[in-house]
Amino acid sequence: MTSELGAMKAVILRDLKSAVRQPSDLLNPLLFFVLVVMLFPLGVSPEVEFLRQAGGGILWVAALLSVLLSLDHLFRHDFDDGTLEQLVLQPQPLFLLVLAKTLAHWLLTGLPLVVLTPLLAVMVHLDGNSIRVLCLTLLIGTPVLSLIGSIGAALTLGLRSAGVLLSLMIIPLYIPVLIFGTGTVMAAADGTPVAGQLALMGACLVLALTLAPFASAAALRISLSNG
């Protein structure tokens, strides 16, 4: 068991390190997140009442899109330089290593998004309680986005025009998380208790955590045998 944990830790540390040395990959999804949120007041309506109502949804959609945008990087570099093949050859089960990579991806995109959220939430006039709940839903929801997305990223590895294909495949699978996430924020804004809905999101997270690494490991093997 220790060797598995050690390998996972090594993978996570390696991904974090290489991300820090390529800070633009880390920053771009965040900038994209801010820009998408900015489009809504400009494009739809800057009125406080509208923004307060739609703010939770806007932030969730923006977060979803920027996670989607960053998914291409999840395996791409490792695929290009052959690291991925070495990972497949490791004695440790591949799904654990994939889980580690997905975790690193979340630490590099999902977590910064959550950290940035309160700032943007204030800009769309959400109240304090809504902001707290919104951050909580994103904290539970973004790992699910990373996990489901890892399947799509693994399946489209090495394909041309992978980006659009990835979105086409993954967005339908993101819908439940989006619904639960925005629904929880709406409920919080109405002042109803949100524990039940948070529990549902937690259930989504547990399900994704248990099943997604297996699917993406299988997908990775297929993509590698393809190249």
Partner 1 sequence: MWQFFHKLGSPKWFYDIATRLMPWLFWIGVSLFMAGVVWGLAFAPPDYLQGNSYRIIFIHVPSAFLAQSVYIMMAVAAVVTLVWRMKLADVFIKSAAPVGAVLTFLALFTGAVWGKPTWGTWWIWDARLTSMLILLFLYFGAIALGNAISDEKSSARAVAVLVLVGVVNIPIIKYSVEWWNTLHQPATFKLTEKPSMPAEMWVPLLMAVLGLYLLFGWLACLRMQTEILIREGRTRWVKALVQTGGNA
Which residues contact partner 1 by CB under 8 A?
148, 151, 155-156, 159-161, 165, 168-169, 171-173, 175-176, 179-180, 183, 186-187, 204, 207, 211, 215, 218-219, 222-223, 225-226
Is the CB of 31 or the CB of 207 nearer to partner 1?
A: 207
**What Cα–Cα distance (Å) separates residue 162 from each residue in 93, 131, 152?**
26, 34, 9
**Count of CB atoms situated within 10 Å of the CB of 114:** 20
Is the CB of 33 or the CB of 174 nearer to partner 1?
A: 174
- For the bound state, the minimum distance from the C-beta of residue 176 to partner 1, rounded and expressed in Å, comes to 4
Is the CB of 58 or the CB of 215 nearer to partner 1?
A: 215
- For the bound state, the minimum distance from the C-beta of residue 83 to partner 1, rounded and expressed in Å, comes to 20
| Helix (H), strand (E) at residue 40 | helix 23-43
- For the bound state, the minimum distance from the C-beta of residue 22 to partner 1, rounded and expressed in Å, comes to 27
In degrees, rounded to 5, the angle at the alpha carbon of residue 87 between the alpha carbons of residues 7 and 63 is 85
- For the bound state, the minimum distance from the C-beta of residue 187 to partner 1, rounded and expressed in Å, comes to 8
Cα dihedral sign, 211-212-217-222: positive
**Is residue 90 classed as helix, strand or coil in its secondary structure?**
coil
Is the CB of 123 or the CB of 169 nearer to partner 1?
A: 169
Residue with structure tokens 């994103």?
138
